[in-house]
Amino acid sequence: MSEEKLIKIKEAEITNNCPECFNQDMTLSFFQKHLYTTFYHKITNDISHQLLCNTCNSLIYPVNWTEDIERIFEYYQKMLSPEPKKTVYSWVFYLLLFIPIVLIGILAYLLNAGII
């Protein structure tokens, strides 16, 4: 069973007008997807974003963005430095990988020594 987490990689306070309440207190956040399983931790290239108005507590979807918000979004998107895509294996993975190799080696030794 895998668990998916969105890790915040960049957050910026922007002062553009909110399309809902017209106040100038919004937060733009960028997230990177991480997958966690028993066998590995995988960092993906999937980047998502969220624009939240801090005054009216509403999510501002890209359909409602003004040209100013789009320019600010593109600026911060270019400044992103996400973690590179990689997979890190856990100790359970290595344990399940090496136990059969060790058992085959022991069996080969015993067969070669004439014990079995």
Sequence-separated contacts (24+) of 55-62 with Cβ below 8 Å: 55/18, 55/21, 55/23, 55/25, 56/18, 56/20, 56/21, 56/23, 58/18, 58/20, 58/21, 60/18, 60/19, 60/20, 60/26
Pick from 44, 4, 47: nearest CA to 28: 47
Rounded distance, CA 51 to CA 20, Å? Answer: 12
Q: 104 lies in a domain?
A: no
The pLDDT, as a whole number, for residue 62 is 92
The pLDDT, as a whole number, for residue 113 is 87
The pLDDT, as a whole number, for residue 1 is 72
Provide the pairing of β-strand 3-14 with 86-89. Answer: unpaired
Q: 111 lies in a domain?
A: no
Residue segments in the chain with a per-residue pLDDT below the cut of 50: none
The pLDDT, as a whole number, for residue 115 is 82
Q: 7 lies in a domain?
A: yes
Q: 106 lies in a domain?
A: no
The pLDDT, as a whole number, for residue 47 is 94
Domain carrying residue 21: 3-90
Q: 109 lies in a domain?
A: no
The pLDDT, as a whole number, for residue 63 is 92
**Joined tokens for residue 40:** 């590995």
